[in-house]
Structure 1
Amino acid sequence: MSNKTQTPAKERVEQEKERIARKGQEVKSGLTPIKIYLLTYNAVSALLWANLLYITITFILTPRSNIQQIAGKSTFLNKLFTFNNSFLSSSTKIKPLNQIINHFKGSYEFKNLGFKTKYTQSLAILEIIHTIFGFVKSPIGTVFSQVFSRIYTVWGVVEAVPEVSHNSPLFTTMLFAWSLTETIRYTYYFLNLLNIQSKILNWLRYTTFIPLYPIGASSEAFLSFQTLPSIKPILLNLISTNSLPFKEILIKSTIGRNLLWNLAKSNNNLNKNSINQTWGPLEIFRLIMFFIWWPSLYFLYTYMFKQRRKVLGKGRGKVVGGTNKAR
């Protein structure tokens, strides 16, 4: 009786051993040079982004006191949360928000976080090459737009205007969203290449983007917008060189004279306090990119929701169709 009950149990153990052995053999036999390269790329990328995530979280959790704002540098966020009231002698600021903003400033120099970020993110250029040569099955348009926006932000915004971007709290929120997203993504791709499925990781991969994509993309967009010079000098120049009746109307009216006076005064203050207040091709390009950002976010966001329904919609943790998109 006992032998009969033990036999099925032993058979199940042997079958499980055979199944594991077959799976290991399949993985081993499928290790082509391209697959080994992709495994290495995803493993290295996951480790690099995990390190950035650790540093970013450490920075956020590190207590700071007596954080001084840089004199003469009025940032976009400071202006956003400052209310100028003509009935008040001074501006009124939302102190809790200012404390949060100040707390998130300065992460670029924290443990060389900015230096590590720009080179870690630059590795993603390889993902475009992976898609072009068919190493992975991903839409080239989606991959290119995602990689381009990141590379542009790192080199065309953060490194191009360091006096503004390096001390911006938006750099911290952007990097937190990036690093958490990428740590999950590259780990998911690495395990997927080994035919290892994790329900928790699948759920994280196709769920965390819901809050992280808007945080990351909006931080990118407003960080770029923050680096733009003031538009007041342009308005003043247009008005001063305008020979149309509109100029005469402004000069004759009280409101018009006040407008011209305030523009001239603001322009004078900007020239004294700002490092770069000139508009050029790069600044115009950043302004255009700011408006392009939002439809691009919608495109990527809806694409990820489609992928989420495809992967999680037919059962959590299942990879539908067995398509490997590890890039």
Structure 2
Amino acid sequence: MSSNTHKSARPASPAKTGYLILYNAASAALWLTVMVRTLSAVAAEGHEAVFSTTGEFCKWTQTLAGMEVLHSLFGIVRAPFFTTFMQVFSRYAIVWGITDLFPGVARSPFYASMLLAWSTTEVIRYSYFALTLSGRQPAALHWLRYHAFFVLYPVGISSEAWLIWRAVEPARHQVHPWYSTALFLYVALVYPPSAYILYTHMMSQRRKVLKAAKAQNQKATQ
């Protein structure tokens, strides 16, 4: 799940803009690598090979996204701290608390579908921000940014939930019964409302952007 907005609250300094362009461009490249590795593994050996070829790289790529919590906290970007934190925490829970501890769970098609949903979302998102900050905004990328999530979010969210659910039993034996209970409560009680908040936040962002674009077009034709 992902829902950050990288617009600054006030005109950004050249140094700040340059940093954000570099961060977003590097992140887009890293997630593109995750996508290519995932697709290559599936094509060559099947979904069972995705974790062994891509899991470690994806874990550290996602860990880097923790910077976005700091960006929001310190006002570097105008992204809501709570939704940013939820997005990052939910993915940290997957890459550190599920697949890193129980790699057997990741040898499923749902791990591959999750990585493809994540990587596609992030390539679009980071590329969009990097180009927008650079003064360019391709129409196709703008459309993907505010429409592709209709498909990508449900795929990613359902895949994540399945992996957490499948980790409940191995957690009981390999870690501690309390950890198993925590995973069960997380996927049953915490995950659904969190996913809803993130999804509706993206819907709200889409409405704002489309409304602003419509108003700008109307003004241009007057």
TM-score by length of 2: 0.84
Aligned pairs for 1:1-327 (under 5 A) are 32-62=14-44, 64=45, 103-110=46-53, 113-162=54-103, 164-229=104-169, 276=173, 279-291=176-188, 292-315=190-213
Question: Does structure 2 retain, via aligned residues, the 8 Å contact 1:46–1:182?
Answer: yes
Q: Quick one: distance in 2 between partners of 1:278 and 1:60?
A: 30
Q: Distance in 2 between matches of 1:222 and 1:275?
A: 17
Instruction: Output the CA distance in 1 between the equivalents of 2:172 and 2:86.
Output: 31
Q: How far apart are residue 106 of structure 1 and its match?
A: 2.7
Larger radius of gyration: 1
Counterpart-to-counterpart distance in 2, 1:57 and 1:106:
10
Helix, strand or coil: the match of 1:276? helix
What letter corresponds to residue 71 of structure 2 in structure 1?
H
Percent identity over the alignment is 38
Q: Which runs of 5+ in 2 are unaligned?
A: 1-11, 218-222
Identify the structure with the greater helix proportion.
Answer: 2
TM-fit CA distance, 1:161: 1.4
SS of structure 2 residue aligned to 1:158: coil
Q: CA deviation at 1:277?
A: 6.8
Give the match for residue 3 of structure 2. Answer: none
Cα contact 2:153–2:199 (8 A) shared by 1 = yes
Deviation at 1:275, TM superposition (A): 9.9
Measure how far apart 1:187 and its partner are. Answer: 0.4
Higher relative contact order (CA 8 A, sep 6+): 2
- Contact 1:213–1:301, Cα closer than 8 Å, also in 2: yes
| Length-normalised TM-score, structure 1 | 0.58
Over aligned residues, Cα RMSD in angstroms? Answer: 2.4
- Contact 1:106–1:169 (Cα < 8 Å) also in 2: no
Q: 2 CA distance for matches of 1:196 and 1:172?
A: 32
Measured in 2, the distance between the counterparts of 1:138 and 1:301 equals 15
Could you tell me which amino acid in structure 2 is paired with residue 226 of structure 1?
R
Whether the aligned pair in 2 keeps the contact of 1:203 and 1:312 (CA below 8 Å) is no
Deviation for aligned residue 1:37: 1.6
Asked if 1 retains the 8 angstrom alpha-carbon contact of 2:34 and 2:119, the reply is yes
- How many pairs are equivalent? 205
Is the CA contact (8 Å cut-off) linking 1:229 and 1:278 kept in structure 2?
no
Alignment CA distance shift 1:189-1:278 (3 Å):
closer
Alignment gaps of 5+ in structure 1: 1-29, 65-102, 231-273, 320-327
2:16 counterpart letter in structure 1: I
Displacement, 1:303? 1.1
Secondary structure, counterpart of 1:157 in structure 2: coil
Q: Give the Cα separation in 1 of the matches to 2:51 and 2:175.
A: 25
Q: Which range moves more in the overlay, 291-300 or 179-188?
A: 291-300
Structure 1 distance, partners of 2:155, 2:13, is 37
